[in-house]
Amino acid sequence: MARTRGSWTGGALTVGSVLKPQDVARAVFHPAWIPQPLDPSVERLKKFRVIAGAVASLGVYTFIEGGFDFTELLENAMTASVVLLFLTPLTVAAMLWVWRRGGTVRQLRVPLLNSLLLLLLFVGCVAALLMLVQTVNGSANAAVIIGVGLTMMWMLIFTAYGAVRVSGNFFGTAATHRCLPPLLAMVTSWLVAVPDLVTGDLHGLSLTLGIVFILGAPVTVTAIALLEMGRLKRRYGIRLKAHPATLAPAPAPGPVPPMPPGTPPAGSPYLPPQGGNPYGHPYAPGGQHPYAPHPQPPYNPQHPYGG
């Protein structure tokens, strides 16, 4: 499958988009080749997973212990990016080994290469942003501070929006298998959190608070990811252990198909039919009302006993 011109961004970028880094990030980090979500409920679960994953990757202690430290936040983001750079290909390689009996790697070559390119692009953006911040902090030249500072602000917005996008689609791995994003989210959150727990590095927090913050995020990510994969399996038959080539084509997301002829309309079954009664109105004009007064006789009858 060859990539056509504009297939990455879907033709969504224009010259004016450069002034809106969030629009550029949306087009670059959520490419057009990533499949659309199948189910709104799964998409809502993904949003919760993204929030929990951000907590696991960056650490709540950044905001609690010693206040907000922007440099430390970027360093944590860079560490998480390096972890992703090695962990994502290893996890995908493990799944390819699991899928080896259902299909070949060649069948998945294009989506795998696209995901790898998106991963390298994001890691490069995080590294570039960290270099810009260090340049601004270490320079005393006003021109350098202003020029590099403006670029840094653009890159900050661009990378932040990009981080939200890749946390949801996990570098477009859903194009390979829709269960890969929640799986990668679980593995990453645990790999980031466990070293702090094993080494006892609670970053100045108490034991109870440290354990809550360190384990809270990966446990939450795991629960949401398992629920997400469970819904994909029950509703669409998408199983993690099945090679993507063996899965039935997923239904295309879109509007609800029209009801077949003869299906009663939705709504209360006790509502009167609209547009007129098919059996005629029992009290239609000109008809005889069952409770109307009886008609008077055409003559004036005499009382039988006289008067």
pLDDT of the chain along its 307 residues, tens only?
Answer: 444 444 787 777 787 788 899 999 999 999 999 988 887 877 777 777 777 666 655 555 555 555 556 777 777 778 878 888 899 999 999 999 999 988 899 999 999 999 999 999 999 999 999 999 989 988 889 998 999 999 999 999 999 999 888 888 889 999 999 999 999 989 988 887 777 777 766 666 677 777 777 787 788 889 888 998 999 999 899 999 999 989 877 665 554 445 455 545 544 444 444 445 545 545 555 545 555 555 555 555 555 555 4
Position 76 scores a pLDDT of 72
Position 177 scores a pLDDT of 94
303 lies in a domain?
Answer: no
Position 119 scores a pLDDT of 94
295 lies in a domain?
Answer: no
Tell whether pTM > 0.75.
Answer: no
256 lies in a domain?
Answer: no
Residues 6+ apart with CB under 8 A from 19: none
SS3 annotation, the chain: CCCCCCCCCCCCCCHHHHHCHHHHHHHHHCCCCCCCCCCHHHHHHHHHHHHHHHHHHHCCHHHHCCCCCHHHHHHHHHHHHHHHHHHHHHHHHHHHHHCCCCCCCHHHHHHHHHHHHHHHHHHHHHHHHHHHHHHHHHCCCHHHHHHHHHHHHHHHHHHHHHHHHHHHHCCCHHHCCCCHHHHHHHHHHHHHHHHHHHHCCCCCCCHHHHHHHHHHHHHHHHHHHHHHHHHHHHHHCCCCCCCHHHCCCCCCCCCCCCCCCCCCCCCCCCCCCCCCCCCCCCCCCCCCCCCCCCCCCCCCCCCCCCC
Position 168 scores a pLDDT of 83
77 lies in a domain?
Answer: yes
Position 36 scores a pLDDT of 86
50 lies in a domain?
Answer: yes
Position 140 scores a pLDDT of 87
173 lies in a domain?
Answer: yes
What is the domain extent for residue 195? 38-246
289 lies in a domain?
Answer: no
Domain count, the chain: 1
110 lies in a domain?
Answer: yes
Position 295 scores a pLDDT of 55
